[in-house]
Structure 1
Amino acid sequence: MGETTQATDNSPTLEVVPTIGVGLSGVALAGVFVPLRRGVSDPVITVAVVCALFALVAFVARRHGLLDRTVGGLGAAAASLCVVLLSGYALNQEIAGSVSLSLGVGSVSLSTVFGAFLAASIAIGVGIAESVGIDGYGVLRRARTTVGLTILGWVGLFSAALTMELFAVPVVLLRGEISDVEWMVVAQVGMAVGTGLVAIGYLVATDRDWSFIDLRVPTLRDVGWTVGGVALLFGALLVISVILSTTGTESAEHATVDQARENPELMLVLIPAAILVIGPFEELLYRNVVQKAMYDVFSRQGAIVAGSVVFSIVHLSAYATAGLGAVMASLGVVFGLSLVLGFIYERTDNLVVPALVHGIYNAVVFANLYFTYA
C-alpha cells in the first residue's frame, strides 16, 4: 500500500466504511428490485436482488461487528460484483427498470438498474477497503484521486481533439480542401501533441521531473514481456469474446469500425499510427501517468484496477454507437484488456513495453478492418 491504512477495532473511523457500504448496497438493492416488483420474471433480476440483499446484510453485519472484517468485507465485495455483472447483463437485455423524473419543464427517464450497477460498482471497492482495514479517510483519499485522474484522462482526450482542430486550420489554409486520409494524419499528430502536453502539464503541476516517465531501452526481459503481452492481450480478447457470445451479450462497435466501413484507406494511416502514436501516447497518459500516480494511494494491484476504470470511462465516447447495455459491454471489454496492459506495465516499469503491446494489438485490429472492408 502507498500509505499506512490499518485501523484497529477501537478506531472511531472504523464504522464509516461499512456504513458507506450499507448505503450503496441499499441503493443497489432498490435499483434491481424495481423491475422485479413490476413483474419481470427474468432469473437474472431475481439473482441480482438476492446478491444485493446479501451485500447489504454483510455490510450491516460488519457495521455491528457481527462478522470478521475480512469475511464481511470480501463477502460484501463478492456479492456486489455479482450485482454488477447481473445488472450489466440485464441492461444489455434491455431490462432497465426505467422511472420518469419530472423536472418542471419536462421529464427524464432514469434506469434504476443502471443506478444499481453504479452503486454496486463502488460497493466492490468499499468492501475490499473494509476487508484490508482502510478507514474512511483512506477511502475518501482514493476516491478523490480516482476522480481527479479520471478528469485528467478526459482532459487528455479533449486536449487531443482540440489540438487536432488547431493543427487542421493551417493545413486547410495552405491546401484548401483536405481528404479524409489527410485529415486522419492531422488527427494523429494532434492526438500525439495534445496527449503529450497533458502529460507534461501533469508533471509540472505535481512538481515531478522527467524521471517519473519510465522510458528506457528494452532489455531481453522486456522483449519477452512484449511478445508474451501481445499473446496475452489477444488471449484475453478471445476469452472475453467467447463469454459475450455464450451469454448472448451484444456489444457496441468502436467508431473506427464505421470509419473503416466508409473509407477503408483510413486504416492504412491508423496501422502505423497505432504503433507510433496511439499505443505510446495512450500508455504514456493512462499507464505511466494515471496508473503510476495511483501507486501513491493504492496498492499496485489496486492501481491497475482503478487505472483500468479510468481508461474504460474515457473510452465512453468512442463506443457511444449503440444502446446503454451494448456500450457497457464494450467498456467491459476495454476494462479487461486494460487490466492486461496495466499488469504488463506494473511488471516491467517500462513504458515501451505496454506501448508496443497496445500498438501492435491496435495495428492488427486496424489491418483486419482494412482487409474486411477494402
Structure 2
Amino acid sequence: MSTVDQADGYARSVLVAVSLSIAGLLAAEFVTIPAFLLDPTLLESPGEASNASIFLLMTLNFLGFFLVGGLYLWWTERGWEWLDLRMPSRRGWKYVLAGVVGSIAFVMAVNVVATLFELPSSENQVMQLIGDDPNMVLLMIVIVFLFNAPAEEFLFRNVIQKRLYAAFSRMGAVIVTSVIFALVHIPAYALATDGSLAPLGAIGVSLAVVFGGSVIFGYLYARTDNLIVPTAAHAAFNAFQFAILYLVLQFAPEELENMMAVSVEFLTTLA
C-alpha cells in the first residue's frame, strides 16, 4: 500500500478511525489475559488484588494500544517514520504547560457547572483497583508516564488524528478524534460500583471531561506536530490528579468521597 497520503472521503476516514479505536480496545482485552490467569482475583474481586497484579494488568492494557497502532503503521507501510517524535523546543514546552493548566481549568469548570446543576459524576473503574491504597496511587503515576499517556497519545493522536488529516481540516480531525475518544470511554463510566448502570447525567458529565481533555491534547498535537507535547501534557495532568488523590488518602481520608470525581475524571478506560 502507498505511504503517500491522498485526499480521502469523510466516511472512509471516520470508519478507519473508529475501526482502529475498536481494535485498540479489543487488543487491550486480549493482551491482559495473562494478568487474569496469573491472578484470578483481578476478575473476581479487583479491589483485593495485589499491587503487582494491578500494575501488570494496567501495563498490558495500554500495550494493546501500542500493538494496534504499530500494526497499522506496518500494514499501511507508513513505518516508524510516521511518528512525530522529537525533543520539544521552548515553544513546545510552553504548549505543554498551557495544556496542563488548561486541562486543570477545564475540569474545574465542568465540576462547577455540574455542582450548580446538581449533576452527579460517575466513578471510573480505575478506582475499583486503587481502592484506598496510597502505594497503588504512586504506582498509577508511574503507569501514567510510562504507559497510559504514551499509548493513548500514540494511537489517538499520531495514528488516528494524523490519519484523519487526509479528509478533515486539522481542527476537524481534532474534534472527530475527541468524539471517538470520548465514546470509547463509555464502558469505563457506565457501570456504578455496585454493578448497576450509572445515571445518564453522571456518564454525560464524565464523558464531557474526557472529550474536552482530548480536544486540548489534540490541539497541542495539531499545533506542534510533535507527539511528545500532548503526551507530556497528558501525563502531567493525570499525575497531578493522582497526586491530589495521594495527598487525600494520606492526610485527609475522610474527604476521599468528595475528591474522587475530581481526582480521576480523565483517566483512561480499563480492559
Determine the C-alpha separation between the residues in 1 that align with 2:35 and 2:117: 45
Q: Would you say the 8 A contact 2:95–2:229 is kept in 1?
A: yes
Match for 1:166 among 22, 34, 39?
34
Question: 2:42 is matched with which residue?
Answer: none
Q: Would you say the 8 A contact 1:184–1:269 is kept in 2?
A: no
Q: Would you say the 8 A contact 1:167–1:186 is kept in 2?
A: yes
Match for 2:226 among 350, 353, 358?
350
The one-letter amino acid of 1:300's match is: R
Give unpaired runs (5+ residues) of structure 2.
40-47, 193-197, 251-271
| C-alpha distance 284-247 of structure 1, shift in aligned 2 (>3 A) | same
Question: 1:245 is matched with which residue?
Answer: 115
Q: Would you say the 8 A contact 2:189–2:206 is kept in 1?
A: yes
Q: Would you say the 8 A contact 2:21–2:184 is kept in 1?
A: yes
Q: Bigger shift: 274-283 or 206-215?
A: 206-215
Q: Give the RMSD, CA atoms, in angstroms.
A: 2.3
Determine the C-alpha separation between the residues in 2 that align with 1:167 and 1:246: 42
Match for 2:17 among 143, 149, 161?
149
| C-alpha distance 259-221 of structure 1, shift in aligned 2 (>3 A) | same
Question: 1:362 is matched with which residue?
Answer: 238
Determine the C-alpha separation between the residues in 2 that align with 1:264 and 1:272: 13
SS of equivalent to 1:308: helix
Q: Would you say the 8 A contact 1:257–1:369 is kept in 2?
A: no
1:119-158 superposed Cα distances (whole Å, 9 cap, x missing partner): xxxxxxxxxxxxxxxxxxx8xx323422331231122123
Deviation at 1:260, TM superposition (A): 3.1
Question: 2:210 is matched with which residue?
Answer: 334
Match for 2:96 among 215, 223, 226?
226
Deviation at 1:357, TM superposition (A): 0.6
Determine the C-alpha separation between the residues in 2 that align with 1:233 and 1:329: 15
| C-alpha distance 227-205 of structure 1, shift in aligned 2 (>3 A) | same
TM-score, with length taken from structure 1? 0.58
| C-alpha distance 150-291 of structure 1, shift in aligned 2 (>3 A) | same
The one-letter amino acid of 2:238's match is: N
SS of equivalent to 2:85: coil
Greater relative contact order structure (CA < 8 Å, 6+ sep): 2
Question: 2:59 is matched with which residue?
Answer: 189
Identity of aligned residues (%): 34
Q: Would you say the 8 A contact 2:54–2:129 is kept in 1?
A: no
Q: Would you say the 8 A contact 1:225–1:344 is kept in 2?
A: yes
Determine the C-alpha separation between the residues in 1 that align with 2:59 and 2:107: 28
Number of aligned residues: 233
1:194-215 superposed Cα distances (whole Å, 9 cap, x missing partner): 2111011111222212121111
The one-letter amino acid of 2:159's match is: V
Determine the C-alpha separation between the residues in 2 that align with 1:168 and 1:268: 22
- Structure 1 runs, 4 residues or longer, greater than 4 Å off: none
